[in-house]
Amino acid sequence: MRNHGIGSWPARRARAAGARTAVVHDGRTTAYRELAERSRRTARALERRGVARGDRVAYLGANRPEFLETMFGAALLGAVFTPFNTRLAYTELEALAADSAPALLVADADRRGDAAALADAGPVGDVLLAGGGEEAGGDADLERELAAAPDGEIDRPVGADDPFLLLYTSGSTGRPKGVVLTHGNVTWNCVNSVVDTDLASTDTALVSAPMFHTAALNMLCLPVLLKGGRLLLEERFDAERSLDLIEHAGVTVMFGVPTMYESIARSDHWSGADLSGLRLLMCGGAPVPPPLIERYRARGLAFVQGYGLTEAAPGALMLPVADCGSKAGSAGVAAFFTDVRTAGTGPGPAEVLVEGPNVTPGYRGRPAETAAALRGGWLHTGDAAEVDGDGYFRIVDRVKDMYITGGENVYPAEVEAVLAAHPAVRECAVVGIADDVWGEAGAAVAVPVPGAAPGADELRSFLEERIARYKVPARIDVVGELPRSGVGKIDKQALRSRMGDARAGGGGPAAG
């Protein structure tokens, strides 16, 4: 087999365990043999629509089997899978499509309006609607395409250095930035995940975090499929539903951000739920608060925490279950086949640098940003950490202004650019501040133009029409002036202090 990429994984697993269940979704069970066949047929359908090696195949939809089948099908052709964040506003999706120029967009049938608009706008070459049934309709029905597509081996040469994923993370200027991840990057990340978390072929993974994010896809879904385990795909997270699946569907491993685990622990059914089969809680996106750690430890459960970023596919640091209590607040030690260090030579925090086979070769069409991020053979993360005597990293601050709310990255410059477009706003600033529910939340201050008096609700509505809801600051103050440093720059440290953020003068971890 000349295809040594991730597209070949279903067929390789089917050779040894074709009848084993790979995916369960909405009552439908897909065995590895069927996953391999549907992935091949999807590849043929994509090819019939003009997809060729190196083309981008975008996906806009929920956690469904078609997501995985489109991803594997694209990979079989040597095409690049590009999942779009379903939480983005249309204008944000349009920016991603313009940057990635996908030859084809596969979208859930209920997103047909956005899909058609993107095709009409020009950046998307063609559209297929997933989900089948009457609501998809017409020739653009992926299920019909699969039924008409021939099965049979597809063995295109695909190697470790060929691009596999194009994942978007907002840039500090607000312009979307596409991270290229090769087959090798993601494969090595999966190996790290399997080694560091002891995933087994007998595991059943609950996948309720969105797969368009690198963590759910690359830290859970693909490692479990690599081992031959079973995925339970949920289109959205629900705490009660999660507890029911843990009790009755044999869930052994799950991934989530702290707010998801907090929601489960607050459920009325938490205290009486049978959690005895659950052995592995993977968490990322933000540190797990010590009180939440203790609530789960009281039920005999511990977290495997991690720190990473899309550019590292994403795993860089892992905090093992055994250290969940004793090293609370730490982001862990370097993943097995990854090296992590700090840029500093003296005491105190310094920027975290990452090197290894899981690190991106760069950003699509962004040579300057690639050169800035990958200096001296190391990925410069923009996060600062302290390292203790045992080699455990504690993330203490961000070199950049980006903050994380509910597991979602938000870049203040992007929000500021939209808020500044309001006709009544003269200038503005956005910072991230500590939040008991979301870990961090946005806080904005706006200075009105002379004679104007915009209210917080008016500004919030303006933002909600233009950016994803999670990017809209939880607090918006209208003020007479912004705090500035001696050289006239906006003093965001003073701004955080004004907004009541206890971390403004130093404090706890900012990422995990």
The CATH number given to whatever domain includes residue 417 is 3.30.300.30
**Cα end-to-end distance, the chain, whole Å:** 39
**Is residue 158 within 8 Å of 11, Cβ to Cβ?**
no
Would you state the pLDDT for residue 1?
66
Structure-block tokens of residue 127: 């559209």
The answer for residues whose C-beta is within 8 angstroms of residue 26's C-beta and 6 or more apart is 235
The answer for residues whose C-beta is within 8 angstroms of residue 89's C-beta and 6 or more apart is 465, 466, 467, 468
Would you state the pLDDT for residue 133?
46
Judge if 109 and 215 occupy the same domain.
no
- DSSP, collapsed to helix, strand or coil, labels residue 70 as helix
Would you state the pLDDT for residue 9?
97
Question: b/e map of 17-48 (b: 16 or more CB within 10 Å)?
Answer: ebeebbbbbeeeebbbbbbbbbbbbbbbbbbe
Judge if 83 and 192 occupy the same domain.
no
Judge if 388 and 327 occupy the same domain.
yes
Check which CATH number belongs to the domain holding 337 and give it: 3.40.50.12780
- At 357, the amino acid letter reads P
User: At which of 375, 398, 421 does a domain end?
Assistant: 398
Would you state the pLDDT for residue 170?
63
- At 33, the amino acid letter reads R
Q: In this structure, what is the dihedral angle of CA atoms 129, 132, 138, 142, given to the nearest 10 degrees?
A: 50
Judge if 336 and 417 occupy the same domain.
no
Residue 478 resides in a domain: yes
* pLDDT tens per residue across all 512 residues of the chain: 688 999 999 999 999 899 999 999 999 999 999 999 999 999 999 999 999 999 999 999 999 999 999 999 999 999 999 999 999 999 999 999 999 999 999 999 999 999 999 999 888 999 999 985 444 455 568 999 999 998 888 989 999 999 999 999 865 445 789 999 999 999 999 999 999 999 999 999 999 999 999 999 999 999 999 999 999 999 999 999 999 999 999 999 999 988 899 899 999 999 999 999 999 999 987 778 778 888 999 999 999 998 999 999 999 999 988 888 788 778 899 999 999 999 977 777 889 999 999 999 999 999 999 999 999 999 999 888 889 989 999 887 666 678 889 888 888 878 988 998 899 998 899 999 988 888 899 999 999 988 999 999 999 999 999 999 999 999 999 999 988 765 556 888 888 888 876 555 432 222 33
Report how far residue 258's alpha carbon sits from residue 236's, in angstroms, rounded to the nearest whole number.
16
User: At which of 149, 179, 200 does a domain end?
Assistant: 149
- The total of other beta-carbon atoms located within 10 Å of residue 297's CB is 13
Would you state the pLDDT for residue 132?
52
Judge if 252 and 345 occupy the same domain.
yes
Judge if 244 and 381 occupy the same domain.
yes
Would you state the pLDDT for residue 360?
98
Report how far residue 192's alpha carbon sits from residue 417's, in angstroms, rounded to the nearest whole number.
38
Residue 26 resides in a domain: no
Whether a cis peptide bond, with omega within 30° of 0, leads into 289 is: no
User: At which of 339, 366, 398 does a domain end?
Assistant: 398
- Domain extent, residue 252, equals 188-398
DSSP 151: P
The answer for residues whose C-beta is within 8 angstroms of residue 147's C-beta and 6 or more apart is none
- The total of other beta-carbon atoms located within 10 Å of residue 499's CB is 19
Would you state the pLDDT for residue 510?
27
Residue 28 resides in a domain: no
- At 93, the amino acid letter reads L
Judge if 415 and 380 occupy the same domain.
no
Judge if 376 and 451 occupy the same domain.
no
Residue 22 resides in a domain: no
Would you state the pLDDT for residue 402?
80
How many Å is the Cα radius of gyration of the chain? Answer: 23
How many domains is the chain built from?
3
Strand partners, 179: 167, 363
Judge if 119 and 243 occupy the same domain.
no
Judge if 106 and 215 occupy the same domain.
no
Q: Which helix (H) or strand (E) holds 432?
A: strand 425-435
**Is residue 503 within 8 Å of 496, Cβ to Cβ?**
yes
Would you state the pLDDT for residue 103?
97
Residue 293 resides in a domain: yes
Residue 176 resides in a domain: no
Whether a cis peptide bond, with omega within 30° of 0, leads into 210 is: no
Structure-block tokens of residue 152: 């049979």
Residue 217 resides in a domain: yes
Judge if 340 and 217 occupy the same domain.
yes
Residue 4 resides in a domain: no
Check which CATH number belongs to the domain holding 58 and give it: 3.40.50.980
Nearest to 23 by CA among 69, 60, 58, 57: 69
Judge if 108 and 205 occupy the same domain.
no
| Residue 67 Cα distances to 62, 153, 468, angstroms | 8, 21, 22
Would you state the pLDDT for residue 486?
52
